[in-house]
C-alpha cells in the first residue's frame, strides 16, 4: 500500500490519502505521490474523481507539522508552492473532483478539499484553518479559496480565530454541499461521481472550465468565454446523439433511451 491509493471504478476513480496513523497529514511523500497520481489520470476514460482519506477519523489533518517545524523562510515558501502546485492541478484538472470529507479537514486538509469542485461530508467531519495558532498563515491556498467559497467576512473570522467548525456549520456557510451519516458518505460520493460520469464528458469539462475561469473575469469576458465553450460542444457525436435522443421522444416516448456518451 502506498501513501496515496488510486482505484479506477469504471468511468470514475477514487483517490485515497493513505496515512491514517498520522490522520492523513500531508508530508512530502504524500504530496509527491498525489502529484504523480493526478498527473497520471486518464481524463479521457475517467470522468470524475472522488478524493477521500483512509480510516474513520480523518480526511486530512493538515500539512505535516513535524516536517514543517524546522523550515527556513525559503523552505517554507517552497513547501507552500509544492502544495499549491498540486492543488492547482486538481482545481484545473479537466474532470470534476469530489471531496468526500470523512473526518478532520484541517489546514491543508480543508485546503485540498477546497481545491475540489464539490465537497460533501460525513456528520463527523470537522473543518478549520488552525494555522495562526501555529504561528503561520494558511499556505496551500486557504486565504484565497476559503474567501471565494464562503465570502471574505466569514473566511476572515474562521482564519483569524483558528476555530474549527463541525459539518452542520460547514453546510450552513456553504463550505460543503451535503452532510451524510459516516456509513453512507462514500456511497453518496460515488453515486455523485457516477451521475456526473454518465453525462456528456466534453460538456462537463467545458462547464468546469467556464465556471472556474469565468469567475476570474469581468462579466462581458466571462460570457464570451461561455459562448466559446458552448460552441465547442457542437458537431460532437455526443451533442448530436444527446439532442437526437430528446427529439425522438416527440415521435414516441418509448424511444427515449439512456445515452451512452462516447466522449467524442
Interface positions with ligand CO8 (CB under 6 A): 22-23, 25, 61-66, 68, 76, 79-80, 83, 104, 106-108, 130-131, 134, 138-140
- What is the closest distance, in whole angstroms, from the C-beta atom of residue 55 to ligand CO8 in the complex? 10
Report d(CA 148, CA 112) in Å as an integer: 14
Report d(CA 117, CA 139) in Å as an integer: 19
Distance from CA of residue 120 to its chain's centroid?
Answer: 10
Report d(CA 232, CA 25) in Å as an integer: 41
- What is the closest distance, in whole angstroms, from the C-beta atom of residue 82 to ligand CO8 in the complex? 8
- What is the closest distance, in whole angstroms, from the C-beta atom of residue 83 to ligand CO8 in the complex? 6
- What is the closest distance, in whole angstroms, from the C-beta atom of residue 22 to ligand CO8 in the complex? 4
For residues 53 and 108, which CB has a smaller minimum distance to ligand CO8 in the complex? 108
- Residue 133 exposure: Cα atoms within 13 Å on the Cβ side: 12
Look up 123 and say whether it is catalytic: no
> Which of 7, 123, 131, 184 is the catalytic position?
131
Q: Is 151 left (phi over 0), alpha (psi -120 to 50) or beta?
A: left
Question: 30: which 3 cell numbers?
Answer: 504524500
For residues 65 and 225, which CB has a smaller minimum distance to ligand CO8 in the complex? 65
For residues 45 and 182, which CB has a smaller minimum distance to ligand CO8 in the complex? 182
- What is the closest distance, in whole angstroms, from the C-beta atom of residue 64 to ligand CO8 in the complex? 4
Look up 184 and say whether it is catalytic: no
For residues 25 and 206, which CB has a smaller minimum distance to ligand CO8 in the complex? 25
> Which of 21, 67, 91, 111 is the catalytic position?
111
Instruction: Give one DSSP letter per residue of 198-258, joined into a string.
Output: TS-HHHHHHHHHHHHHHTTS-HHHHHHHHHHHHHHHTTSHHHHHHHHHHHHHHH-GGG---
Report d(CA 222, CA 231) in Å as an integer: 14
Report d(CA 228, CA 233) in Å as an integer: 9
Which residues make Cβ contacts (< 8 Å) with residue 244, sequence separation at least 6?
none
List, by residue number, the catalytic residues.
Answer: 111, 131
Amino acid at each position: 500500500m502506498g501513501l496515496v491509493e488510486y482505484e479506477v471504478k469504471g468511468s470514475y476513480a477514487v483517490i485515497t490519502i493513505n496515512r491514517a496513523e498520522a490522520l492523513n497529514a500531508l508530508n512530502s511523500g504524500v504530496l509527491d505521490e498525489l502529484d504523480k497520481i493526478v498527473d497520471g489520470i486518464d481524463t479521457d476514460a475517467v470522468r470524475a474523481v472522488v478524493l477521500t482519506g483512509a480510516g474513520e477519523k480523518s480526511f486530512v489533518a493538515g500539512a505535516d507539522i513535524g516536517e514543517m517545524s524546522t523550515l527556513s523562510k525559503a523552505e517554507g515558501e517552497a513547501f507552500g508552492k509544492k502544495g499549491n502546485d498540486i492543488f492547482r492541478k486538481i482545481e484545473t484538472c479537466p474532470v470534476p473532483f469530489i471531496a468526500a470529507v470523512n473526518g478532520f479537514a484541517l489546514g491543508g486538509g480543508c485546503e485540498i478539499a477546497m481545491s475540489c469542485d464539490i465537497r460533501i461530508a460525513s456528520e463527523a467531519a470537522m473543518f478549520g484553518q488552525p494555522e495562526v495558532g501555529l504561528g503561520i498563515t494558511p499556505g496551500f491556498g486557504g486565504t484565497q479559496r476559503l474567501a471565494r467559497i464562503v465570502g471574505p467576512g466569514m473566511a476572515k473570522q474562521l482564519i483569524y480565530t483558528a476555530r474549527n467548525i463541525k459539518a452542520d456549520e460547514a453546510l450552513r456557510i456553504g463550505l460543503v454541499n451535503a452532510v451524510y451519516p459516516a456509513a453512507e458518505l462514500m456511497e453518496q460520493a460515488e453515486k455523485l461521481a457516477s451521475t456526473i460520469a454518465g453525462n456528456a464528458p466534453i460538456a462537463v469539462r467545458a462547464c468546469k472550465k467556464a465556471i472556474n475561469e469565468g469567475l476570474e473575469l469581468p462579466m462581458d469576458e466571462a460570457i464570451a468565454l461561455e459562448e466559446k465553450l458552448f460552441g465547442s460542444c457542437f458537431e460532437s457525436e455526443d451533442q448530436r446523439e444527446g439532442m437526437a435522443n430528446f427529439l425522438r421522444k416527440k415521435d414516441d416516448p418509448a424511444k427515449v433511451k439512456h445515452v451512452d456518451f462516447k466522449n467524442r
